[in-house]
Amino acid sequence: MYQTSFKAVLFDLDDTLIDRKSAYEYMCRRFYDLHNEINSSITWVEARNFFWNLSPNNAANITDHIKQINKRWPTIPNEPEAHKKFYFEKMIENIKPLPGVNKFIKKLKRSHVKWGVVTNGDDYQYKKIAKIGWTNLVPFVLASDIYGVKKPQPEIYKEAVRLLDIKITDYSKILFVGDNLYTDIIGAQNVGMKTAWVRMGRDHPTEPPIPDIVIDHVDELTKTLRIE
């Protein structure tokens, strides 16, 4: 495992600290059960594959999702706001930390390492944090749609460093941890941070962006961050 003396660590939220994958599948099943146009035409397994194909690179675009759904099932209303409400309400109903993350965060909280969360999303990200009881546990949550800049743009990483409230000019002393190569990893690397990629069963990338560390779970960073 990569060894260094990091001054701080920044985390993505979905599928890095919390289980977006299971919540997304729960939401999709509720959507499938709700719409007779879908459940009368294909099996749940077929629908599940269709819904997962709407989220390339483990990212979600609700407006595009409903366009694709409406294209296949034209009788389902193309109402982005209503679908967004359904999407996030059902996601939040079933959101939970990934196994072992609560224990890891408590170790982090007791340590000298400064940390925070940087996530692409809106105020629903704060609602997820509240649902799992982390409001007073996480030092800060920087949500892109509230701040006005999304990952991988450099400004959001620099704002996160400001929120860490540490005097540092060498960003290589900060570790960014995330599951998305094309937002989390490339964005952090572009500002000089070191990176840890949560691979979620995927193969190690052979083309850029290449993360400094590849892990299956954030708890693997315990020694790297010296928070044992």
Q: pLDDT of 170-219, one tens digit each?
A: 999 999 999 999 999 999 999 999 999 999 888 988 999 999 999 999 99
Phi, psi of 17 (to 5 degrees): -110, -35
20 and 205 Cβ atoms separated by less than 8 Å: no
Distance CA(158)–CA(142), nearest Å, equals 11
Crossing angle for the helix pair 20-34 and 80-93, to the nearest 10 degrees: 120
Amino acid present at 39: N
For 129-173, write each residue's pLDDT tens digit.
Answer: 999 999 999 999 999 999 999 999 999 999 999 999 998 889 999
CB proximity list for 92: less than 8 A, separation 6 or greater = 23, 124, 127, 128, 131
Record the pTM.
0.91
pLDDT for res 201:
87
Contacts 24+ apart (CB under 8 A), 124-127: 124/88, 124/91, 124/92, 125/13, 127/88, 127/92
Look at residues 169, 17, 32, 37 and name the one whose alpha carbon lies nearest to residue 102: 17
Q: List the domains of the chain with CATH numbers.
A: 8-19+96-221 (3.40.50.1000), 20-93 (no CATH)
pLDDT for res 78:
86
For 91-129, write each residue's pLDDT tens digit.
Answer: 999 999 999 999 999 999 999 899 999 999 999 999 999
Q: In what order do the strands lie in the sheet with 194-198?
A: 141-143, 114-119, 8-11, 174-178, 194-198, 213-215
The confidence band for 5, taking pLDDT boundaries of 50, 70 and 90, is confident
Distance CA(68)–CA(187), nearest Å, equals 28
pLDDT for res 103:
95
For 25-69, write each residue's pLDDT tens digit.
Answer: 999 999 999 999 999 999 999 999 999 998 765 556 788 888 899
Instruction: Sort 139 into a burial class: Cβ within 10 Å, 0-12 / 13-18 / 19+.
Output: middle
